[in-house]
Chain A
Amino acid sequence: MAKKTAKKAVKKVSRKKALPVPAKKPAKVIMIALLILLLALAFGGLVALAKSQKTFIKGLFIPAVPTPTATAIVVPTAVPTKTVALPGTNQRLFEASKTKEEMPSIDITQAKFLFDSGKAIFIDARSIEEYEQAHIKGALPIPAGLTQENIPKFATMLKDKILVTYCHGSGCHLANKTANALFDAGYRKVCIFWGGWPHWTEAKFPITQKEAPKP
């Protein structure tokens, strides 16, 4: 009897030893990872496509409502050298935003379009020192940290204008912070010029610069 149990025990041990170690399947792991990636990519792609379709459709319909089509055709052909942007896409810049998320983020062409229109005021969200060194022509200094003090100071100048905030360009969030503060203060026609100071100076558009001290 004892021998039998001993044999069984040996068998058990040998079985345990003989059991294959659960095989790791890196190929399977990578395959499933690729599938998840594909799923995410497909989803992201579809969402992006749906968004672009929406803006495309919006762009198609907006210009037809406020402006007659004849002028819309004449403007770009008559002045080909000036910055001419599509009336449909730029129409949005003159409209009030209902939420902070709706505030348009604009590029250099749209910024120049607004600058030329004369209906916009540029707002420098950088520090006062940087503003004093140089700024976009006609811009007002409202640094992101001094919004509480400076917004009421310029209230009369900001009234009924389209406000375009800018800072150091890509990666700088000061323009967004100032735009949010302006929105909170009750201004609804606020745009964020994301290209900011670097794009404006690269394009050599009008700036006001501090004169170098004479020797």
Chain B
Amino acid sequence: MQARNNTFSFMAFIRHPVFLACLKIILGALFIISSVPKICHPQNFIEAIAAYRILPFALLPILAATVPWIQLFAGVFLVLDIFVQSSALIISGLLFVFIVAIASAFSRGLDIECGCFDLMGLEDKVGWVALIRDTIFLMGSGLLVIFDKNTLNFYGVTKKFFK
């Protein structure tokens, strides 16, 4: 009985609007922060993706020109609480791709920069830390896809104005 109560409270906790709002702001802010240096210095981002040795060289400039913008848009939409499910879906997709790329590089024993937050000057290498961090982010965005709304919500501000 107690166990049932516990699971109930846990479910209530992860569905709670405050918890979801925190998730949105944290995930959105992280994505915005990581996208800005990539947009400002696409050459560094091209080098970072090239180091993974997964994609052909011709594709890299196209990716470097688009992926950071996708990150930025999805991040801004999350922070502003607009179409959260869709934005979180995009972020989940990106995170999944990042996790696969990092796992592939890690399994091949490549000692390279992650290309996630190191472009801002932080130390961020491919390894367990990057993998676990991205998995936690993926879980967070998954929760948003499942439990949040997909409207122009703005944290309920619009409801107050248009009542």
Contacts and interface: CB of A to CB of B under 8 A. Distances in A.
Contacts of B112: 171
Nearest to B149: A22
B150 interface: yes
Interface stretch (A31-39, A65-73, A84-92): A31-39
Given A171-B113, A194-B47, A36 B65 contact: no
Given A36-B74, A171-B51, A30 B66 contact: no
Contacts, number: 74
B83 interface: yes
A45 B89 contact: no
Contacts of A41: 66, 69-70
Contact of B113 (A25, A45, A173): A173
B77 interface: yes
B117 to A, nearest CB: 13
Contacts of A37: 70, 90
B48 interface: yes
B154 interface: no
- The interface centre, meaning the residue of A35, A39, A40, A171 with most chain B CB atoms within 10 A of its CB, is A171
A61 interface: no
A168 to B, nearest CB: 9
Nearest to B39: A47
In which size bucket is the chain B interface?
20 to 34
Nearest to A175: B47
A32 B87 CA distance: 8
A48 B41 contact: no
Given A41-B66, A44-B70, A29 B50 contact: no
A48 B69 CA distance: 11
B47 A36 contact: no
B65 A45 contact: yes
A175 to B, nearest CB: 10
A28 B69 CA distance: 22
B113 A33 contact: no
Contacts of A148: none
Contacts of B43: 105, 194
B86 A29 contact: yes
Interface string A87-120: 0000000000000010001000000000000000
Contact of B150 (A32, A39, A176): A32
A56 interface: no
Contacts of B50: 170-171
Contact of B66 (A35, A45, A170, A176): A45
Interface of B: 39-44, 47-48, 50-52, 61, 65-66, 68-70, 72-74, 77, 83, 85-87, 89-90, 112-113, 118, 145, 150
Given A29-B89, A37-B90, 14 more contacts: A28-B150, A29-B86, A29-B145, A29-B150, A33-B90, A36-B77, A36-B86, A36-B87, A40-B66, A40-B74, A45-B66, A47-B39, A47-B65, A194-B47
Can you list the 10 inter-chain pairs with the closest CB atoms, starting with the nearest? A171-B51, A44-B69, A33-B86, A32-B86, A48-B65, A170-B50, A40-B73, A44-B66, A40-B70, A171-B112
